[in-house]
């Protein structure tokens, strides 16, 4: 990283610290894989019809419109990605080549495989998660465990196939014990994510879970404060929803996620899959 970019990244990190944020540590419970619950099929009918039977473990989303919530002033300062320059003529293979056998952050120490990203290089829709888990680390592909199975169901409920979209994570190597990626790890690895997004230029970016959403939007607010809202992100529309792993633990939240996905479908002109 050149000195100017480093200085700007450091400024961004200081900015977060001045706010007293711990943006990457707050919502781990929302993304930790559940050990005790099986994913239920996520048919459109079931998702659309499912209503929360009890309050989710996370704070309930506000009942008032986002516009009425002054706290939903996302990214009042520079996003991490505002300080990363675009790379001329970039492409997904070139970015992967640049990552190489990466040892730029400590996460390389425990990884089995770098989990770069998978899917359509011209996808209109990109899902961004937090980081690889055990199954992903072993297979080198994002979202292949139980949460990945649920994500595939979500994608198919949208009348898409998994291969139609692109799926990647904020960090490319598995954090030990599935902990959240730390700030410096995110700062080191996420420029690759930005380059992936810039190379694909999707219409819609859907952040899965708090870590991805907070990283992309440069905020420390809990995801329930801005889940389902639209944001502009470098020419793409960005929306955040709950992580599939959260849904494994809180199946009652599937209805809320389905509403978010329906918004995405509206932008992409998709109709729900017929049974």
What residues line the site for ligand SF4 (CB under 6 A)? Answer: 99, 102-105, 107-108, 114, 171-173, 185, 188-189
Q: How far is CA 136 from CA 8, 90, 142, 167, 184, in A?
A: 32, 25, 5, 12, 22
Closest approach, Cβ 172 to ligand SF4, in A, equals: 4
Which CB atom, from 59 or from 110, has the smaller least distance to ligand SF4?
Answer: 110
Q: How far is CA 88 from CA 195, 198, 253, in A?
A: 10, 10, 41
User: Could you tell me if 154 and 241 are in contact, meaning their C-beta atoms sit under 8 angstroms apart?
Assistant: no
Closest approach, Cβ 180 to ligand SF4, in A, equals: 13
Closest approach, Cβ 174 to ligand SF4, in A, equals: 9
Which CB atom, from 43 or from 91, has the smaller least distance to ligand SF4?
Answer: 91
How does DSSP classify residue 80? G
Which CB atom, from 188 or from 241, has the smaller least distance to ligand SF4?
Answer: 188
Which CB atom, from 105 or from 199, has the smaller least distance to ligand SF4?
Answer: 105
Which CB atom, from 197 or from 265, has the smaller least distance to ligand SF4?
Answer: 197
For 239, phi and psi rounded to 5 degrees? -135, 150
Q: Report how far residue 65's alpha carbon sits from residue 194's, in angstroms, rounded to the nearest whole number.
A: 30
Give the count of alpha carbons within 13 A of 196, CB side only: 28
The beta strand positions in 68-219, using DSSP E, are: 118-119, 125-129, 166-169, 204-208
Which CB atom, from 80 or from 173, has the smaller least distance to ligand SF4?
Answer: 173
Closest approach, Cβ 176 to ligand SF4, in A, equals: 12
Task: Render 47-94 in DSSP notation, one character per residue.
Answer: HHH---SS--SSPPPPSS-GGG-TT----SS--GGGGSPPPTT--HHH
Write out the H or E segment, with its range, that includes residue 98.
helix 92-99
User: Could you tell me if 30 and 243 are in contact, meaning their C-beta atoms sit under 8 angstroms apart?
Assistant: yes
Closest approach, Cβ 115 to ligand SF4, in A, equals: 9
Collapsed DSSP state (helix, strand, coil) of residue 245:
helix
Which CB atom, from 12 or from 242, has the smaller least distance to ligand SF4?
Answer: 12
Closest approach, Cβ 42 to ligand SF4, in A, equals: 29
Closest approach, Cβ 55 to ligand SF4, in A, equals: 35
């Amino acid at each position: 990283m050149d000195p100017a970019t480093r200085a700007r990244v450091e400024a961004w990190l200081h900015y977060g610290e001045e706010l007293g944020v711990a943006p990457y540590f707050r919502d781990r419970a929302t993304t930790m894989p559940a050990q005790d619950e099986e994913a239920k099929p996520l048919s459109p009918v079931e998702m659309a019809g499912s209503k929360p039977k009890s309050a989710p473990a996370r704070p309930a989303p506000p009942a008032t419109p986002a516009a009425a919530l002054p706290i939903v002033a996302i990214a009042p300062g520079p996003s991490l990605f505002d300080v990363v320059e675009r790379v001329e003529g970039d492409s997904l293979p070139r970015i992967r080549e640049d990552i190489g056998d990466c040892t730029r952050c400590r996460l390389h120490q425990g990884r089995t495989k770098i989990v770069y990203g998978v899917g359509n290089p011209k996808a209109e829709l990109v899902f961004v998660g937090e980081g690889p888990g055990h199954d992903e680390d072993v297979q080198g592909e994002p979202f292949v465990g139980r949460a990945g199975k649920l994500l595939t169901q979500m994608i198919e409920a949208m009348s898409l196939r998994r291969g139609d979209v692109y799926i990647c994570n904020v960090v490319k190597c598995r954090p030990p014990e599935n902990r959240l990626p730390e700030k410096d790890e995110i700062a080191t690895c996420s420029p690759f994510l930005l380059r992936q997004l810039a190379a694909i230029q999707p219409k819609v970016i859907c952040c899965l879970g708090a870590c991805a959403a907070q990283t992309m939007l440069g905020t420390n607010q809990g995801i329930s404060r801005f889940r389902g809202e639209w944001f502009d992100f470098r020419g793409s529309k960005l929306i955040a929803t709950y992580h599939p792993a959260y849904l494994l633990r809180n199946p009652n939240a599937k209805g809320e996620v389905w509403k978010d996905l329906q918004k995405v479908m509206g932008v992409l002109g998709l109709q729900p899959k017929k049974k």
